[in-house]
Homo-oligomer: A and B are copies of this chain.
Amino acid sequence: MHDAVRATVGLFHVSKSYAAGHFALRDVCLEFQRGEFALLSGPSGAGKTTLLKLIFAAERASEGQILVLGRNASRLGAAAIPSLRRRIGVVFQDFKLMPRRTVEENVALALEVVGTPRREVRARVFAILKQLGLQDRRFHHPLSLSGGEQQRVAIARALVNEPEILLADEPTGNLDEELSLEIMDLIAAAAKRGTTVIVATHDSAILERYGGRHVRLEHGRVVSEHSTPAGREGE
């Protein structure tokens, strides 16, 4: 169905204001295609997280239209939101792990909500944890993990489901450079498989290394946008 529409994600003259008079986003127009890899940058408070929140319907736009996977995310009823979110993987800036569940259970959650059979859940969770170097930690609780390990669990949960859209908010803020690039490669690989990937980041190393589309926000407005035909991930 989403193949029928032109873009996987489309924002048309979108504004978002949390409190009267102050705009977190202002008149943003952007489209993201299937399999696209986009980096979103900008200073603290520019509106990056807000943009991602609008896409997975965690906030509602104050003005404008947002089309996501063929649905109008700015008008979606409460009952229709879950089915949209199940097709989107999100790495939250603050991880949002469940402190009383193990790493394995945290990651499995994304599969359980779509009704994946238990056996398959186990296999897929193990595979993704291994890819992220967390297989030894799978029975640990998030609070007994280091910051970087928690961040990787959050990434695993977003990827395990092979979502059609992947939104990652500062996914490498707690990782050292080497690990950052390794994990960005994993995220970029998802784009190769057809996922629309949008990553918000401050990390200049990542911005330099990865090509694709670069969007820069400042004070809620898109101030620059350019694409390099192939970044390092194409090398």
Residues of A participating in the B interface, judged by any CB pair closer than 8 Å: 18, 41-46, 48-49, 93-95, 144, 146-149, 152, 169-170, 173-180, 202, 204-205
Contacts and interface: CB of A to CB of B under 8 A. Distances in A.
A146 B173 CA distance: 14
A42 B179 CA distance: 11
Nearest to A44: B148
A204 B202 contact: no
A46 B149 CA distance: 11
B45 A148 contact: yes
A38 B60 CA distance: 44
Nearest to A176: B202
Contacts of A179: 43-44
Contact of A146 (B44, B95, B175, B204): B44
Nearest to A42: B176
Given A43-B148, A148-B202, A177-B204, 17 more contacts: A41-B176, A42-B176, A44-B147, A44-B152, A44-B176, A44-B179, A45-B148, A45-B149, A49-B146, A49-B147, A93-B147, A93-B174, A94-B147, A173-B174, A174-B202, A176-B202, A180-B202
A90 to B, nearest CB: 14
